[in-house]
Amino acid sequence: MALGSAAALLLAACGSGSGTATTASTAKPAASSTTSTSAASTPTTASGPAPVYQVNAGTVPKLGTVLVDGQGFTLYVFAPDKRSGSSTCSGQCAKAWPPLVLPAGVSQAPAGPGVKASLLGTTMRQDGTVQVTYDKWPLYLWVIDSAPGQATGQNVNNLGGKWYVITPDGKVITKSP
């Protein structure tokens, strides 16, 4: 019930997405480490767990293979960004949909298994942080997803537009799960 209440509260928030951007944390609850690239597990590298900002391919039930972060959490794109290479989600929007950002000193997100490194890029956010992009789509997480393999933000109309998952080929999936 608490998750449903939190989702209702976030879905009811109708901020315009404009205003001062905040530095969004992409930290999520830790998942168990395995060598799988399934969205339901945490990908690893030869030196240990993949960094949170690594972009991987993972499987989400009813949606197929989509992009996930280094902990296996589903990544989303925001339709108003229009594959422009820049983010329109800031303020309240960035609190509900934290951008996938790089830590200071890192210039590029690593491409995990199944991800096309040539499609990875970055964009500078209003707050000075560097956000990861894929095929010019800025990437975001959704605070309601509480475990790898979830995509509760898929096809949600929230904070100024629709949110979708994206495939490793750069195709935006618009269907509901």
Confidence of residue 43 (pLDDT cuts 50, 70, 90): low
What ranges in the chain are assigned the alpha helix state H? 2-12, 92-96
pLDDT per position as a tens digit, 137-167? 999 999 999 999 999 999 999 999 999 999 9
Looking at the whole model, is its pTM more than 0.95? Answer: no
Q: In whole angstroms, what is the distance from residue 137 CA to residue 113 CA?
A: 19
Element (H, E) at 3: helix 2-12
Q: Note whether 135 and 145 are within 8 A (CB).
A: no
- Bridge partners (DSSP) listed for residue 68: 56, 74
> Which region among 32-36, 54-58, 78-82 has the lowest average model confidence (pLDDT)?
32-36
pLDDT in tens, 76-117: 999 999 999 999 999 999 999 999 999 999 999 999 999 999
Q: Where are the domains of the chain?
A: 1-177
Residue 5 has pLDDT above 90, yes or no: no
Where does the pLDDT of residue 47 fall: very low under 50, low under 70, confident under 90, or very high at 90 and above?
Answer: low
Q: Note the maximum CA span of the chain.
A: 43
